Amino acid sequence: MRSASPTRPTCPLSTPLTSAKKDFTAAVSVTGLSLRVVADITKVDLEPYAYDVWHDRAVFHFLTSPSDRLAYVRQVTRAVKPRGNVIVSTFGPEGPTKCSGLEVVRYDAESLHQEFGVHFRLLDSCKEMHRTPFGTVQQFLYCLCRIE
Ligand SMILES: C[S@@+](CC[C@H](N)C(=O)[O-])C[C@H]1O[C@@H](n2cnc3c(N)ncnc32)[C@H](O)[C@@H]1O
């Protein structure tokens, strides 16, 4: 296993990026074969072209400013290997407009793909009605892209 530094996490097999809005100090811990990083995804310094798969559930839709979304897409483009797979899920067009009291942006497959641009080939998408532990139902969109 390669060593990890708090400023530039390296990628053993997988790096769960545990997102925590309140504490963006990069925190790195290694458990088994995975490296856990807590950081602001728009700012963290990830190892370039190190990841085969990027999987985000319910983070991207919190990025309400165009500059944050641009920074996120730059992260993905830089961190994922060429021809790597990118799975992003957000609230769908009929999903909630807020989550945890915060505004979100809702997407359909086309509008989400537009955020990522032509270097991302949209391979598949689907919508899911997600039942929360509180018994409510939220529409989610899942998109699978490949970086070209
Ligand atoms: C609804 S939770 C989803 C958590 C997990 N991905 C899941 O599916 O259970 C949304 C997460 O987005 C995180 N988040 C929001 N903005 C972020 C940012 N700029 N960088 C990293 N994480 C962020 C929040 O801290 C929160 O943990």
Q: Where are the domains of the chain?
A: 48-147
Q: Whose CA is nearest to atom 23 of ligand 1?
A: 19
Main-chain phi, psi angles of 73, to 5 degrees: -65, -35
**CATH homologous superfamily of 48-147:** Vaccinia Virus protein VP39 (3.40.50.150)
Neighbours of 72 (CB within 10 A): 19
Q: What tokens were used for 59?
A: 């983070």
Cα 58 to ligand 1 centre (Å): 6
Sheet containing strand 17-18, edge to edge, reads: 17-18, 34-38, 27-31
Ligand 1 atom closest to 19 (CA): 22
Q: Is 123 in the pocket of ligand 1 (CB under 6 A)?
A: no
Better-scored residue on pLDDT, 12 or 51: 51
Ligand 1 atom closest to 56 (CA): 6
Q: Is 2 in the pocket of ligand 1 (CB under 6 A)?
A: no
Q: Whose CA is nearest to atom 1 of ligand 1?
A: 58
Question: Average pLDDT in the 79-95 region?
Answer: 97
Q: How far is CA 72 from CA 1, 44, 57, 83, 109, in A?
A: 27, 10, 14, 18, 17
Cα 133 to ligand 1 centre (Å): 17
Mean pLDDT rounded to a whole number for the chain: 88
Question: Average pLDDT in the 116-131 region?
Answer: 96
Residue-level pLDDT at 7: 59
Percent of the chain exceeding pLDDT 90 equals 75
The predicted-structure confidence for 11-44, as pLDDT tens digits, reads as follows 555 667 665 445 555 566 666 777 888 999 999 9
The predicted-structure confidence for 52-79, as pLDDT tens digits, reads as follows 999 999 999 999 999 999 999 999 999 9
Q: Is 138 in the pocket of ligand 1 (CB under 6 A)?
A: no
β-strand pairing of 137-147 with 120-131: antiparallel
Q: Is 42 in the pocket of ligand 1 (CB under 6 A)?
A: yes
Residue-level pLDDT at 59: 97
